[in-house]
Structure 1
């Protein structure tokens, strides 16, 4: 197999790893492209091309995370990952628990090394010896990093799921109730301890704190309605966003945004994630 074919065979795995490391579709694609450039200059006698490429992509992602540390610290308002969008009626490409917004936010709390160890071992099934070689660390050190990371993220994976048709109904019902600030309907749809995170990145209007609790969310929606701050929506498309039900919106003027939901055991909305930052929506297209 030639070098290009060897790389292309690994590209999907490298992209999945890079997206989980970086929380960005665009940055993941750039990291994979950088790995390709390194691969073109690699020795001809690489014994295990797949391992070589994983090692290169992981190290590139760690470098990007370290370089972005100051920018992340100065980010205006809550940070959300770039939305990973799949058609709601298609078979999912990604495992929902490994790309959920809650899971990716938990990864954000880890150091770059902890994140790499956890993903390589717990998500991509690399053994500790291979992870240690990738990160140029001892195996005991890698095991310690994995245990520390696991303690932070073990509760972050979604525990409840609903059928696609029910998910579509829930998403549509919430968007309709939010547009009119229908208190009764919102109260019925939202869990009492629901949270709402809106990411405008300082580029578009968004709440500058995480909204916690049903009443807090309803007050915000009422306030937006009263001030005329609810944007006019020209088109709505149901989608799977980071493995969860959601919608892609096209606003008046052409700006897109995404809204995704997580649910509790009772089928109520337990989390709402709204991405409005245009820098994170360049890859978003509506059918």
Structure 2
């Protein structure tokens, strides 16, 4: 367990040259394009209604409080920024999920020599897209109630002292869950079983999630974090988790989907 943080950091160091290699370079374009398109749409919609929202809010104030106009700009600006951040994160993850699933497959093939049997026909591609979106929905359903609970703890005296630490650890855990999921899903490991496997290695997950969190704060570089994190997570699947779960997908194939 002590070596787990080093394994997580080592996976990221190995992921850098891999993600920019000739075979995998193409997969950077998908999340990048999703980033630019989504952020552009969100900002266009947000700022088109921003002034209307401010004017509407100021309409409820008496004229002698009109000097508070700057405060409304500040408050609504902060609220819209937070909403944009979370909408952006969720939206990009949903849009890029199928591409990241393919990326995780290619990394596993490249590193292990294993060839996924599925040929990329239209039907198979649609199946992968639907499965990826279902997993994203499972993650959202898992995340939202726990996140709300942690926010509520922030308002309880004494408990609110440790609430920021719990929120930080939970954020790192969710980032690990998000990016580890692609390799687990490709190998037909259920979402619940993946959570149990990751929960058994908390230091690995918190270190992995913490590295992603730090990388997301770096301007411009944060645009490349998604594919790098997926590659690093797949490398951890290969080195840490694959031997424990075995070739689960191959077992399912041989038994027509039942054990």
TM-score, structure 2 normalization: 0.27
Structure number with greater Rg is 2
TM-score, structure 1 normalization: 0.25
